[in-house]
A and B are shown apart, each in its own frame.
Chain A
Amino acid sequence: TQLLEQSPQFLSIQEGENLTVYCNSSSVFSSLQWYRQEPGEGPVLLVTVVTGGEVKKLKRLTFQFGDARKDSSLHITAAQPGDTGLYLCAGWVTGGGNKLTFGTGTQLKVEL
C-alpha cells in the first residue's frame, strides 16, 4: 500500500504554462518534503513543510501543506525547460522514526 499518492503521474506542458502537482495520503505526517530528481542522479531537496496550512515559496515554486498534515501541493508558475524532472513528495509518518516515505512521483516535461 502506497502511503503517498501523487497526481498526475505524468505531465507534459509548454514553457510558460502553470501547473500543480498533488500529494495525498490518509496518514498524518509530522513533516513533508518535496524533491526533484534528474535522470541518473539522487533526489535533491526543494523544501520542507512542517506546520499544517504552511505555504512556502521558492522563486516560481509554491508549496502548501494541508491543514490536517495529510496532503501537500506544489505549484509552478511559468514553467521553464529547466523545471523538467521527477518530482517526489516524501514524509515522515508521526512516530515512524527516520523512515522517509516517498510518493509515487510526478514526471514533468517542459518543452520549448
Chain B
Amino acid sequence: KAGVTQTPRYLIKTRGQQVTLSCSPISGHRSVSWYQQTPGQGLQFLFEYFSETQRNKGNFPGRFSGRQFSNSRSEMNVSTLELGDSALYLCASSLARTGSYEQYFGPGTRLTVT
C-alpha cells in the first residue's frame, strides 16, 4: 500500500505571495491532518479534515486554510506569505478521526520564504 504523498517536496516563495501544498493520503484513509514544523516551535497542529469538512483547527492565523476533496486528497493554502512561514509542512492521514487511530505522515513540503 502506498504511503502518504506530498507535493511539491521543496518550494521557494517570496514574501506576499501565496502557496498551495498538496497531500494524498493512504488509500482508504479519510482523515487528513496538517502540521507545521519549525526549529523554534517544533511540530504544531494546523487543521484536520474528515469527509471534506474541517473538524479541528489549531492556533494559526486565517492566512492558513485548507480543503479536502471527495477522494480524501487535501490541499492547504497560505496567503500573503511571511518570512516566519518558512517551515516543513507535514500531512498525516488516518483511517478515522478518533484519537485511537494512528496517523501516518508524509515526507513533508519544505517551504522557504525569502
Using a CB–CB cutoff of 8 Å, the interface residues on chain A facing chain B are: 2, 30-31, 33, 35, 40-45, 48, 50, 88, 90, 92, 96-105
Taking the nearest CB of chain B, how far is it from the CB of A98, in angstroms? 4
B48-A41 in contact (CB<8A): no
Asked whether B102 lies within 8 Å of A48 as measured between CB atoms, the reply is: yes
> B33: which A residues are within 8 A, CB to CB?
98-100
Q: SS class of chain B's interface: helix, strand, loop or mixed?
A: strand
Cα–Cα, bound, A35→B102 (Å): 11
- A88 to chain B minimum Cβ distance, whole angstroms, is 7
**Quick one: which of A30, A42, A90 has the most chain B CB within 10 A?**
A42
Inter-subunit contact B98/A42 (CB<8 Å): no
> What is the bound-complex CA distance between A104 and B37, given in angstroms?
11
Known contacts: A43-B90, A44-B105. The answer to whether A101 contacts B45 by CB under 8 A is yes
Is B97 part of the contact surface with A, judged by Cβ < 8 Å?
A: yes
Closest chain B residue, CB of each to CB of A45: B102
Q: Is B106 a contact of A96 with CB atoms below 8 Å?
A: no
The answer on a CB contact under 8 Å between B48 and A97 is yes
Q: How long is the Cα–Cα vector from A87 to B98 in the complex, in angstroms?
A: 23
Smallest CB separation, A86 vs chain B (Å) = 10
Select which of B43, B44, B50, B110 is within 8 A of A98 by beta carbon. Answer: B50
With a cutoff of 8 Å between Cβ atoms, the chain B residues found around residue A44 in the complex are 105
Contact A99 B100 (CB under 8 A): no
